[in-house]
A = this chain, B = another copy of it.
Amino acid sequence: MKLGEGVEAAIHCAAMLAGVDGNSTMSGAAMAEAFGLSPSYLLKHLNQLTTARILESVPGPAGGYRLARPAERITLLDIVLAVEGREPAFRCGEIRQRGPTKLDASAYVKPCGINAAMLKAERAYRTALAEAKLSDIVADFMNDADPRTVAASCAFVERRQRPQKVPVQSSKA
Bound-state Cα–Cα, A89 to B92, Å = 19
Which residue in B7, B15, B89, B96 is a CB contact (below 8 Å) of A90?
B7
Q: Taking A33-B99, A99-B33 as contacts, is the C-beta distance between A108 and B1 under 8 angstroms? A: no
Pick the contact of A8 from B95, B107, B126, B129 — CB < 8 Å? B95
Indicate whether A36 sits within 8 Å of B98 (C-beta atoms), given known contacts A107-B149, A128-B121, A137-B114: yes
Instruction: State the majority secondary structure of interface residues on A.
Output: helix
CA distance A110 to B36 in the complex (A): 20
Contact call B129/A91, Cβ cutoff below 8 A: no
A15 to B118, CA, bound (A): 14
User: Can you identify 28 A-B contacts, CB atoms within 8 angstroms?
Assistant: A1-B4, A1-B80, A2-B89, A3-B90, A5-B91, A5-B93, A7-B118, A8-B90, A8-B95, A11-B114, A11-B118, A12-B96, A33-B100, A76-B121, A89-B89, A96-B149, A99-B156, A103-B146, A103-B152, A110-B146, A113-B137, A113-B141, A121-B125, A121-B126, A124-B125, A124-B127, A125-B125, A125-B128
